[in-house]
């Protein structure tokens, strides 16, 4: 017979990562304090028990990258016989085998396509939860940035709070180079094209995020360079000068050369033909990160090889 117990947690502090910024503080607390009644969470906010950067905030406050959030002690109800869910062995193996660089401050994954970077939206486990499961002594691992579920490639994970702050400062200053490889529909009108259209995020009623070009959006710059042309597509390198959500995919759509396999912003007929040719996923890969010798960081040029499924597709695609 199971026993129900009430347990009180200790005060804890979290640092807001890029993928968490712009969330309302109340929604953020609801996601990290699962099982705590909504009334208690709003009570904590009214009483000032929750602090951001040492100060009181309203429930409508929107989080910023690098914010330090104080989460007060809370009482949670647990069942002692309930066995916590665990990631499937398949996920554990894929994430464990994807580490391409590691030092005392951070590690870099060649993130597999099909795995989200963090839990939520119906996903119990993302890369960060899987890593913490694989490394129980390193529960402080934090995502430095994010990649879409279907995008593969370089993903930075900080081991220490200081490293997380250093990397966030470098990202905010634009001092970390981010390079991608993508397959686009058709042939671009020039060998090199810059797209600097501003982007605005929208969240639909269903919860789906959709990004659009808008004068009210944030500045965004993508530099496209053709590597190779096929009969109906072009392989390109993309250098991101900014890191907005879905930036490459929306800018490629703006060029009228959407990314192959993109079910959100892509071309349905092109996607169907490319799928029949053997492509089973979004052809977008974070191929390279270049870290500066500043912001407390060591200069590094990190490269993630093109996954076997994408490389194999190119070998047979005409």
Catalytic annotation, residues: 148
Q: Measure the CA–CA gap between 44 and 59, rounded to whole angstroms.
A: 10
Contacts of residue 267, defined as CB under 8 A and 6 or more positions apart, other chains included, come to 185, 258
* Cβ neighbour number for residue 297 with a 10 Å cutoff: 18
Q: Which region, left, alpha or beta, applies to residue 79 given φ > 0 means left and ψ of -120 to 50 means alpha?
A: beta
Taking the mean position of all CA atoms in its chain, how far away is CA 258?
A: 21
The tokens of 280 are what?
């089973």
Taking the mean position of all CA atoms in its chain, how far away is CA 163?
A: 18
Residue 247 contacts residue 222 (beta carbons within 8 Å): yes
Q: Measure the CA–CA gap between 147 and 18, rounded to whole angstroms.
A: 11
Contacts of residue 264, defined as CB under 8 A and 6 or more positions apart, other chains included, come to 210, 246, 249
Give alpha helix (H) positions in the chain.
Answer: 25-32, 38-47, 89-96, 127-134, 161-172, 247-254, 268-276, 308-316
DSSP 3-state assignment of 42? Answer: helix
Selection from 294, 289, 285 nearest residue 176 by Cα = 289
Residue 161 contacts residue 15 (beta carbons within 8 Å): yes
């Amino acid at each position: 017979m199971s026993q129900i117990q009430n347990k009180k947690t200790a005060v804890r502090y979290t640092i807001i990562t890029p993928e968490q910024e712009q969330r309302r503080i109340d929604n953020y607390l609801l996601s990290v304090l699962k099982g705590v009644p909504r009334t208690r969470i709003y009570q904590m906010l009214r009483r000032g028990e929750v602090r951001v950067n040492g100060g009181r905030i309203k429930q409508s406050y929107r989080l910023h990258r690098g914010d330090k959030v104080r989460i007060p002690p809370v009482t949670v109800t647990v069942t002692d016989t309930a066995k916590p869910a665990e990631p499937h062995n398949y996920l554990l193996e894929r994430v464990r085998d994807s580490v391409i660089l590691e030092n005392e401050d951070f590690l870099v994954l060649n993130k597999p396509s099909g795995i989200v970077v963090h839990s939520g939206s119906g996903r119990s486990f993302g890369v960060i939860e899987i890593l913490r499961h694989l490394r129980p002594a390193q529960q402080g691992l934090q995502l430095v940035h994010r990649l879409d579920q279907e995008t593969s490639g370089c993903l930075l994970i900080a081991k220490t709070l200081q490293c997380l702050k250093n990397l966030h400062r470098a990202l905010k200053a634009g001092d970390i180079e981010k390079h991608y490889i993508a397959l686009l529909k058709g042939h671009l009108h020039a060998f090199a094209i810059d797209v600097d259209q501003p982007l605005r995020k929208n969240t639909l009623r269903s919860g789906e995020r959709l990004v659009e070009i808008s004068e009210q959006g944030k500045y965004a710059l993508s530099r496209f360079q053709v590597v190779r042309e096929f009969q109906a597509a072009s392989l390109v390198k993309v250098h991101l000068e900014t890191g907005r959500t879905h930036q490459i995919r929306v800018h490629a759509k703006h060029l009228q050369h959407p990314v192959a396999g993109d079910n959100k912003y892509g071309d349905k007929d092109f996607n169907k033909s490319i799928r029949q040719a053997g492509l089973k996923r979004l052809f977008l890969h974070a191929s390279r990160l270049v870290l500066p010798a500043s912001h407390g960081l060591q200069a590094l040029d990190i490269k993630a090889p093109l996954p076997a499924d994408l490389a194999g597709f190119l070998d047979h695609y005409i």
